[in-house]
Amino acid sequence: MRFSKFLFLPALWVLSAFPSPVQALTLTIRTDSPGKPISPMLFGIFFEDLNYAADGGLYAELVQNRSFEYSALDRPDWNALTGWQLLKRAEGDGTAYIGDARPLGPNNPRYLELHCRAGREGSAVGLSNSGFGGIVLKAGEGYTFSVFARQQPGRHFSWQVCLESRDGTILDSRDLPPLSSDWKPYSAVLHPKESTDSGRIVLWIHGDGVIYLDMVSLFPQNTFKNRKNGLRRDLAEVIADLKPRFVRFPGGCLVHGDGLSNLYRWKDTIGPVEHRKAQKNIWRYHQTVGLGYFEYFQFCEDIGAEPVPVMAAGVSCQNTDRYWGVGQQAVPLEKMPEYIQEVLDLIEWANGAPDSTWGRLRAQAGHPEPFNLKYLGIGNEDAMTPAFRERFEMLYRAVKAKYPDITVIGTVGPAPEGFDFEEGWKFADALRLEMVDEHGYKSPQWFWSNLNRYDRYDRTKSKVYLGEYAAHEPDRRNTLRSALAEAAYMIALERNGDLVRMASYAPLLGKHGNTQWNPNLIYFTNTEVLRTANYYVQMLFGTHAGDRYLPANLDPPLSDEKKFAFSAVRDSRNGDIIVKMVNGDAQAVTLTLNLQGLPQAETPAIQTLLTADTPDACNTFRSPNDIVPKTAPITLRDEQTFTAAPYSLTVLRIPRQK
């Protein structure tokens, strides 16, 4: 053993020539080996509009129910006026109705009809919206107000848009141009003079008669990458920091929906927002689809991730019958050609020339270059019924016939075992699918007990996309214990990265107070973003990914009860070597770390440690930094003693030796 210099490092990191390990354990890593090629896109994300992830979340629109399309179908206590309040000034008075006789278009059938009695000097009728629990306004930033409006012919109105704080202080206002008796768009940019977390937008109308309003919108100009109709910057940045290699979207159960009438139809989600078709969200709220397919693909491009859209396999979600809905319904066979065409059209929209039928719409939206779609998910956790199989096969064959280069990802049920899983795999084998989507929500112990799962898979069969997984505590908290179980599993995924091509934690986002599902990777309020311990695990694997798995061996091997996992990968883009170790136990693991191939001389490296005193630790809004990665320089040699702290994930990044 050669002696390395003592390094004094914070907390629990110990790297020294002394003392000798309590147990004579040696972890040998062949840093000079070419290694086994593994998927360069192993770690990505899965975005679903669940827990207010899109409307009221990532989609930056600040007005709730902007197009008066909310209804009791979304939620029993909602209606078309939910989110709106009528205000009166001086002798002004008014009545709000919902109209549908002369809509903006067939996809946007309802609008507000405001009967105003506010013609007297100083009188006005107001209409206010406080967004999703108070509009956050920042002093000095620009906010684009826009609306479609028309008026009863022959009347005269003046109108004004205001941003107000909760106590009614006017933060900015703009007079709006005269109304016409035909639908016309109106807009103004406002700059609040003060910041508030609980603002509202108010339209004040002065005059007698009826005015009609739809698509009342307030959008921050400061969105992610300053995109119009874009994403909430702080949330999008935290997602981008994961360095995801792909994004699976838009669900999940959302895709196959509650019955056929609730399938996610991508064509309803593109083009001008006022012509998109909102619908109920299977998670029991409303989807405006303002965040639609164009925005999803653009986000992927903005963060350097491959888009992985998922289309329903011609059947709806079987699970809704257990709670509130209709269960699995199948597109009638005579309608399948139409549905198949819808799937093929998506590929043309994403990849087709700007003069192709669907590529033209992408170009008109501002993206003449193709999006280079390579993957398409068909189905999500579907029950393996004859109806599903028949429709999946039709879709699969049609896609492969027209677009042989597109990788179609099949589905093998909601769990990593059971009927749908077994039957799903048999079906995939029969069709010789390139890839299937496995899901697994299990206890932390399950993850530790299944680290060898993929080592046993037949390499001649379909590749695996682990599209949804999370370690679930009995109380569904994002504990360090759950995060470390996931980290250990991700290490096993790296080792099996020849077979497992992609993996994504689920779900990604949860709005505090509006969750239908826990745990989630990231929690947020209107003003804050909380990174969980699980988030930091994903982030560390995303930022320290490799494309070659290096031989790594622990001698003697530890018993199955011991919670210790390790991997070594190389990122061939820069030659860096990354060693990861997870210790899920209360005792430190001290070992001789033998980095074969590293020079004897001191090699500068970076180590990152994610740990806390107890496996029950959790980041919370009150205490968001209890579990955060800590990074420090370290000097490595070909051999040294290393201690993996209790309850920890350690990442050692060794830059390529010049």
Number of Cβ atoms within 10 Å of the Cβ of 22: 12
What is d(CA 171, CA 509) in angstroms, rounded to the nearest whole number?
Answer: 31
List the one residue from 4, 165, 380, 462 that touches ligand AHR (CB under 6 A). Answer: 380
In angstroms, give the least distance from the CB of 255 to ligand AHR.
8
Of 70-78, 248-256, 521-529, 562-570, the window that binds ligand AHR (rule: CB under 6 A) is: 248-256
Tell how strand 407-411 and strand 435-442 pair up. Answer: parallel
Nearest to 409 by CA among 492, 542, 503, 549: 503
User: CB-wise, 282 or 451, nearer to ligand AHR?
Assistant: 282
In angstroms, give the least distance from the CB of 400 to ligand AHR.
24
In angstroms, give the least distance from the CB of 434 to ligand AHR.
20
Number of Cβ atoms within 10 Å of the Cβ of 373: 22
Which letter, b or e, does each residue of 35-65 get, where b requires 16 or more Cβ atoms within 10 Å of its Cβ? beebbebbbbbbbbbbbbbbbbbbbbbbbbb
User: CB-wise, 253 or 373, nearer to ligand AHR?
Assistant: 253
| Catalytic annotation, pick one of 295, 381, 438, 639 | 381
Of 110-118, 246-254, 340-348, 567-575, the window that binds ligand AHR (rule: CB under 6 A) is: 246-254
What is d(CA 557, CA 551) in angstroms, rounded to the nearest whole number?
Answer: 14
Is residue 420 close enough to count as binding ligand AHR by CB under 6 A? no
Is residue 71 close enough to count as binding ligand AHR by CB under 6 A? no
User: CB-wise, 257 or 352, nearer to ligand AHR?
Assistant: 257
User: CB-wise, 252 or 292, nearer to ligand AHR?
Assistant: 252
User: CB-wise, 207 or 379, nearer to ligand AHR?
Assistant: 379
Ranked by CB distance to ligand AHR, the top (closest) residue is 252
In angstroms, give the least distance from the CB of 471 to ligand AHR.
14
Helices (H), 93-188: none
List the one residue from 253, 365, 483, 568 that touches ligand AHR (CB under 6 A). Answer: 253
Handedness of CA 498, 469, 536, 607 (dihedral sign): negative
Is residue 251 close enough to count as binding ligand AHR by CB under 6 A? yes
Is residue 381 close enough to count as binding ligand AHR by CB under 6 A? yes
Nearest to 369 by CA among 271, 305, 301, 304: 301
CA distances (Å), origin 281, targets 49, 53, 71, 254, 437: 8, 11, 11, 7, 23
User: CB-wise, 378 or 578, nearer to ligand AHR?
Assistant: 378
What is d(CA 655, CA 554) in angstroms, rounded to the nearest whole number?
Answer: 23
Contact (CB, 8 A) for 578 and 654: yes
What is the per-residue binding string for ligand AHR in 462-501, x denoting contact by CB under 6 A? ------x---------------------------------
What is the per-residue binding string for ligand AHR in 331-370, x denoting contact by CB under 6 A? ----------------------------------------
Of 23-31, 247-255, 453-461, 547-555, the window that binds ligand AHR (rule: CB under 6 A) is: 247-255
List the one residue from 56, 414, 584, 629 that touches ligand AHR (CB under 6 A). Answer: 414
> Which residues, in sequence order, are bridge partners of residue 510?
523
Contacts of 600 (CB under 8 A, 6+ apart): 2, 637, 638
Q: What are phi and psi of 654, to 5 degrees?
A: -110, 105
Cα end-to-end span (Å), the chain: 25
Is residue 506 close enough to count as binding ligand AHR by CB under 6 A? yes
Contact (CB, 8 A) for 442 and 451: no
User: CB-wise, 125 or 253, nearer to ligand AHR?
Assistant: 253
In angstroms, give the least distance from the CB of 523 to ligand AHR.
15
What is the per-residue binding string for ligand AHR in 17-56, x denoting contact by CB under 6 A? -------------------------------x-x------
Contact (CB, 8 A) for 370 and 359: yes
List the one residue from 144, 155, 517, 554 that touches ligand AHR (CB under 6 A). Answer: 517
**Is there a catalytic annotation at residue 473?**
no
List the one residue from 126, 413, 507, 510 that touches ligand AHR (CB under 6 A). Answer: 507
What is the per-residue binding string for ligand AHR in 224-243, x denoting contact by CB under 6 A? --------------------
Q: How many residues bind ligand AHR (CB under 6 A)?
A: 12
Is residue 287 close enough to count as binding ligand AHR by CB under 6 A? no
Q: How many residues does this entry show for the chain?
A: 658
Is residue 250 close enough to count as binding ligand AHR by CB under 6 A? no
DSSP letters spanning 396-427:
HHHHHHH-TTSEEEEE--SSSSSHHHHHHHHH
Contact (CB, 8 A) for 592 and 26: yes
Contact (CB, 8 A) for 14 and 216: no
User: CB-wise, 219 or 283, nearer to ligand AHR?
Assistant: 283
In angstroms, give the least distance from the CB of 390 to ligand AHR.
22
What is d(CA 644, CA 74) in angstroms, rounded to the nearest whole number?
Answer: 50
List the one residue from 57, 244, 252, 497 that touches ligand AHR (CB under 6 A). Answer: 252
Contacts of 341 (CB under 8 A, 6+ apart): none
> Which residues, in sequence order, are bridge partners of residue 118?
207
What residues act catalytically? 381
Contact residues toward ligand AHR (CB under 6 A) are 48, 50, 251-253, 380-381, 414, 468, 506-507, 517
